[in-house]
Structure 1
Amino acid sequence: MSSNGQATVFIDGEAGTTGLGIRHRLRHLPVTVRSIDPARRKDPDARREMMAAVDIVILCLPDAAAKEAVAMADAMGDDAPRILDASTAFRTDPAWVYGFPEMDAAQPAAIRAAARVSNPGCYPTGLIGLLRPLVRAGLVPADYPVCVNAVSGYSGGGRSMIEAHERDGGPAFELYGLGLGHKHMPEMTLYAGLAQPPVFVPSVGHFPQGMIVSVPLHLDRLPGRVAIADLHEALAAHYRGSDRVTVAEPCAKLAADALAGTDRMELRVHGNDALRQVVLTARLDNLGKGASGAALQNVALMLGLEPPPPV
């Protein structure tokens, strides 16, 4: 705790895109954010001292560095802080709680009680948000051959991608991850409840922030006579009362950057009754609900606070 009685937070990696976004959002919570002198930010002793002095450490580091930081915290025993990790290092680790509060009714309580919470990835947030309720409801079989197409703003791709897109002549649109082994696949498969990894084709557009995740479905490949309305209602029932995840009506077109700067996510079921085809879509900000906005929710829950209303 700080001298004013507020909980204390240290963001390890606060100078990166996600770290900056989290720090900006934490002004909405009654917490004190502590920082290491920039000259000592890579000093293990300085980091260890800071970890021992705060209530929560938020890791905004590459996977290998996040694992090193967690090992350092684990070695501190009773002095170890609670940790929220934004990397992919622990997202499928059974000893960690997955930080998607809307995933299940019990998830907020699990996050509140957890010593270790993994912040979800941006693409998985969209896919899990769409498919998990439908798989749980028995509308989409766990072994359905899922294909996922997604586009994100370039801000989620790190410094080199940001620099490439912000130069004149940056690429308008790129597919990537065409080796089909994207690092988000394990959490997508596990938390969506799928029996096999989906075919996942991510892409980057020439816009800073925003994201659409889309999943096509053939209704005749689903059990029974599933209708478009059944899928919509199952999603609406799952997220009823949420202030961050809404199930909206289908529309003729979607702009990927429409929710840029917000911490909300919109889910839709677009369909054609005659063709018996559906496209599920999730629209969110890759830096908002897909990263820093989710971290704000998780920090609030871990501290027993009410998450502030989403922007």
Structure 2
Amino acid sequence: MIRTVFIDGAAGTTGLEIGGRLAGRSEFSLVVLEGDRRKDPAARAEALNGSDFAILCLPDDAAREAVSLIEPGSEVRVIDASTAHRTAPGWVYGFPEIVGRDTLASARRVSNPGCYSTGFIALVAPLVRAGLLPADWPYTCNAVSGYSGGGKALIARFEEDSDIAWRGYALALGHKHVPEMQQRCGLSIPPLFSPAVVPAHRGMVTEIPLPLTAMPNAGATEAMREALTEFYAGSEIVRMGTPPDDGELLLRKSRRPSDAMELHVFASPDGSQARLVAVLDNLGKGASGAAVQSLNLMAGLDETAGLRL
């Protein structure tokens, strides 16, 4: 069976990446609006309601508008790549390794995780569930991303100004990814999140420092490694990384597109401190790759079909 897919916002960075992953796949047929019809509400409503799947690659308000165009009784199943519905009731969070593949496969409304959130949740949620990290600790998350995560405007800014070496932002705190990070990890305190952008097109490193001796009921670092290894044992997408021999992790500008994510647990010799680190592609598992993974599951296909692993 060939399923129809409408990407609303197909000309944006995330939409283009999703389209590239679906191009040439016989299981799907893309519904395309040409020219001015891409912004015509009537044409969009027709495409949304007439498709088997709709993937929203839009700003938050536009994503909400798109959902409002879906008629009662419509059979279309939606994946929203915006922030609009990531903590909304009735929406399934599009992280199958965390929420369960069966839950994702049967969902009608799916909210795609944020890129930074993906790394944080992948590390913290399983360890909180396992009782190896406390749910009431004030976690800190430091992260850097390639500039493609900011869309066309930020891409142009970095490519036009080669003097930018580091761009820190969300300095007033309250970054839009924090609510999903807190909710999906079951935390009682919002994490303190410090994001930045570096002069690489793609790639992301997310880190959570842990002062273990000050944390009540925190487990040993080896137990954390074992728990994460077991938790992701059935995944071809999320995997535990091999500790580097030279003691350093590199995010290279020449990084190739990837839909995989690599996790690390680094510890001090005495086990008193640890650093949880996730390395991923902000456009892969951090955005478009995650959306295609969810689409595959919702369509009853192998979750890795069309992914770059």
| TM-score computed with the length of structure 1 as normaliser | 0.94
Give the percent of matched residue pairs that are identical in Structure 1 and Structure 2: 49
* 1:144 lines up with 2:144 in the alignment: no
C-alpha distance in structure 2 between counterparts of 1:201 and 1:163, whole Å: 23
Map residues 197-276 of structure 1 onto 2, 5 A cutoff: 197-224=190-217, 226-251=219-244, 252-257=247-252, 260-274=256-270, 276=272
C-alpha distance in structure 1 between counterparts of 2:218 and 2:95, whole Å: 31
C-alpha distance in structure 1 between counterparts of 2:3 and 2:31, whole Å: 10
Q: Which residue of 2 aligns with 1:296?
A: 292
Aligned 8 A contact 2:262 2:278 in 1: yes
* 1:30 lines up with 2:50 in the alignment: no
Unaligned 5+ runs, structure 2 = none
SS at match of 1:152: strand
- The verdict on how the C-alpha distance between 1:289 and 1:40 changes in structure 2, with shifts beyond 3 A counting, is same
C-alpha distance in structure 2 between counterparts of 1:220 and 1:29, whole Å: 54
* 1:53 lines up with 2:50 in the alignment: yes
SS at match of 1:41: helix
Q: Deviations over 1:176-209 (max 9, x none)?
A: 1111110001000000121111110000000100
Aligned 8 A contact 1:153 1:209 in 2: yes
- The verdict on how the C-alpha distance between 1:111 and 1:69 changes in structure 2, with shifts beyond 3 A counting, is same
Of residues 275, 279, 303, the one that matches 1:279 is 275
RMSD of aligned Cα (Å): 1.5
- What is the letter of the counterpart of residue 35 of structure 1? V
C-alpha distance in structure 2 between counterparts of 1:170 and 1:19, whole Å: 29
Of residues 75, 83, 87, the one that matches 1:88 is 83
Q: Which residue of 1 aligns with 2:302?
A: 306
Aligned 8 A contact 1:84 1:119 in 2: yes
C-alpha distance in structure 2 between counterparts of 1:273 and 1:72, whole Å: 57
- What is the letter of the counterpart of residue 281 of structure 1? V
Aligned 8 A contact 1:228 1:273 in 2: no
> Could you tell which deviates more after superposition, 57-66 or 218-227?
218-227
* 1:13 lines up with 2:13 in the alignment: no
| TM-score computed with the length of structure 2 as normaliser | 0.94
Aligned 8 A contact 1:139 1:223 in 2: no
Q: Deviations over 1:2-24 (max 9, x none)?
A: xxx41000000000000000001
Deviation at 1:241, TM superposition (A): 2.0
- What is the letter of the counterpart of residue 119 of structure 2? G
Q: Deviations over 1:56-79 (max 9, x none)?
A: 010000000000110111xx1112
How many residue pairs match? The answer is 303
* 1:154 lines up with 2:151 in the alignment: no
- The verdict on how the C-alpha distance between 1:169 and 1:248 changes in structure 2, with shifts beyond 3 A counting, is closer
Aligned 8 A contact 1:268 1:280 in 2: yes
Deviation at 1:41, TM superposition (A): 1.1
SS at match of 1:77: coil
SS at match of 1:131: helix
SS at match of 1:274: coil
- What is the letter of the counterpart of residue 94 of structure 1? P
- What is the letter of the counterpart of residue 26 of structure 1? L
Unaligned 5+ runs, structure 1 = none
- The verdict on how the C-alpha distance between 1:246 and 1:115 changes in structure 2, with shifts beyond 3 A counting, is same
